[in-house]
Structure 1
Amino acid sequence: METKLVESLHGITLIGGGPVPPALMTEALGLAPTLVAADGGADRAIKLGVSPRAVIGDLDSLSRAARQRFADRLHRITEQYSTDFDKALRHISAPFCLCLGFSGGRVDHTLAVFNSLVQRSERHALILSASDVVLAAPPGRELQLSLPPRCRVSLFPMASVTGRSQGLRWPIEGIRFTPAGHIGTSNIASCPEVRLQFDQPGMLVILPRAQLRAALSALGTQHVPGK
């Protein structure tokens, strides 16, 4: 069992080294007030004027200034078979994680993040960008999403996945989704409640960023300030 370096009864905001609009940081901290940095995310935090409770990773991307500033909260994990995102995620205990600065940069980094997202779907981690919120659908459990009319609901498989849906313009029953085959980008909500259930792990659900609270509610997260 992994040692938990940060524990919270509320959500945790996890910041990486990629681009993070200030408004996105403000929104995330309003819902998940404890900030943790994955390696070079500590430098991004400094630029945004915020301070993480912990910095987790192999620390090979951390500047000297960040090392000095956060010397009392550095947690170095030396193994090299996982990414800094994965290292941080598996050492956090919280109802959910809002993850910023993990998309919009290098494509290989983003794909590695999505890989960890589906492998650790029980962590209830959501990737936030300026335009999207991405979550891994928990296998075997129904997601109930309250969405506005014609809201975009994109599905992207990271493995071979089948599932069921209600409330989508194009139903997904009978489809075998695979990364190199059938995918489900740009589906549309046809009624106020969309229901999704997948038989296997591996499906990413991608929604407009404005639907962050709907995504959190669908995952059954608790202890959301103001909810």
Structure 2
Amino acid sequence: MNQTVIRSETAILLVGGGFSNPELLTDLTQSCDTRVAADGGAARLLAEGILPDAVIGDLDSLEEEARAQIPADRIHHVTEQDSTDFDKCLRSIDAPLVLGTGFLDPRIDHGLGALTVLARHPDRRCILIGAEDAVMLAPPRLSLALPKGCRVSLWPLGPVTGRSTGLRWPIDGLHFAPDDITGTSNEATGTVTLEMDGPRMLLILPLEALWALRQALASAPAEWPARAG
């Protein structure tokens, strides 16, 4: 069940308890007017001198010292244990874009869980930011202004097909699947356009391309519908 906790007309920053690049986190807090913490991620924001606009999760990682600094009406306890805190947050946020940090590193199982959540909620546009990469569920159509040679990786979460221009190795005619054809370490030859036939492809770019990705998404109104059920 999805219950909106916080809304914004602009991008929301969502901070988890995993690794966040300190310099990039500072930049992200300055570029987003609304900042949300997933459970123990509240301590990360407080360390930046920022009071979270909301804290969402099962609260098993929210330390008392951090909790004492946050108004009670900003703390949203989601008791069910069938989903991760990232899942709880993503389905509770209504915004055109969520920028998530602290969800991919350092634990592989946590990172894989977060990527699965992107596929579970294809209607929620979210970029996850790791130590070296930015990753999101590729939208139906996207045009990216990237420098020549920029790494562009595509990783299927299920069977999916698509089309491209501006890639060193085009994807047209390929049938991607996680246990068969994948698309890692491709390269941009200039502006890259992608069209996907379903919400099952992860787009992975180096952090240097994060702002280009944000700009591209602003011009990509097409979105995937919510999953049935």
Q: TM-score higher than 0.5 here? A: yes
Alpha-carbon distance between aligned partners in 1 of 2:108 and 2:125, rounded to the nearest angstrom: 22
Task: Give the structure 2 partner of residue 107 of structure 1.
Answer: 108
SS state of the match for residue 186, structure 2? strand
Shift of residue 221, structure 1, vs aligned partner? 6.3
Task: Give the structure 1 partner of residue 162 of structure 2.
Answer: 163
Contact 1:151 1:188 in 2 (8 A): yes
Alpha-carbon distance between aligned partners in 1 of 2:182 and 2:112, rounded to the nearest angstrom: 16
Task: Give the structure 2 partner of residue 194 of structure 1.
Answer: 192
Task: Give the structure 1 partner of residue 64 of structure 2.
Answer: 64
Task: Give the structure 2 partner of residue 2 of structure 1.
Answer: 2
Alpha-carbon distance between aligned partners in 2 of 1:37 and 1:176, rounded to the nearest angstrom: 38
Name the amino acid aligned to 1:20.
S
Query: Which range moves more in the overlay, 64-73 or 147-156?
Result: 64-73
Shift of residue 219, structure 1, vs aligned partner? 2.0
Task: Give the structure 1 partner of residue 131 of structure 2.
Answer: 130
Unaligned runs of 5+ in 1: 223-227
Query: Which range moves more in the overlay, 67-76 or 34-43?
Result: 67-76
Matches within 5 A, 1:196-215: 196-215=194-213
Task: Give the structure 1 partner of residue 40 of structure 2.
Answer: 40
* Displacement over 4 Å in runs of 4+: none
Task: Return closer, same or farther for 1:221/1:46 CA change in 2, 3 Å cut-off.
Answer: farther
Shift of residue 105, structure 1, vs aligned partner? 1.7
Alignment root-mean-square deviation, CA? 1.6
Tell me whether 1:81 sits opposite 2:82 in the alignment: yes
Task: Give the structure 2 partner of residue 225 of structure 1.
Answer: none
Alpha-carbon distance between aligned partners in 2 of 1:221 and 1:78, rounded to the nearest angstrom: 37
SS state of the match for residue 189, structure 1? strand
Name the amino acid aligned to 2:202.
L
Alpha-carbon distance between aligned partners in 2 of 1:189 and 1:49, rounded to the nearest angstrom: 38
- Count of aligned pairs: 219
Shift of residue 71, structure 1, vs aligned partner? 4.6
Alpha-carbon distance between aligned partners in 1 of 2:28 and 2:122, rounded to the nearest angstrom: 19
SS state of the match for residue 189, structure 2? coil
Alpha-carbon distance between aligned partners in 1 of 2:32 and 2:207, rounded to the nearest angstrom: 16
Unaligned runs of 5+ in 2: 221-229
Alpha-carbon distance between aligned partners in 1 of 2:137 and 2:212, rounded to the nearest angstrom: 14
Task: Give the structure 1 partner of residue 118 of structure 2.
Answer: 117
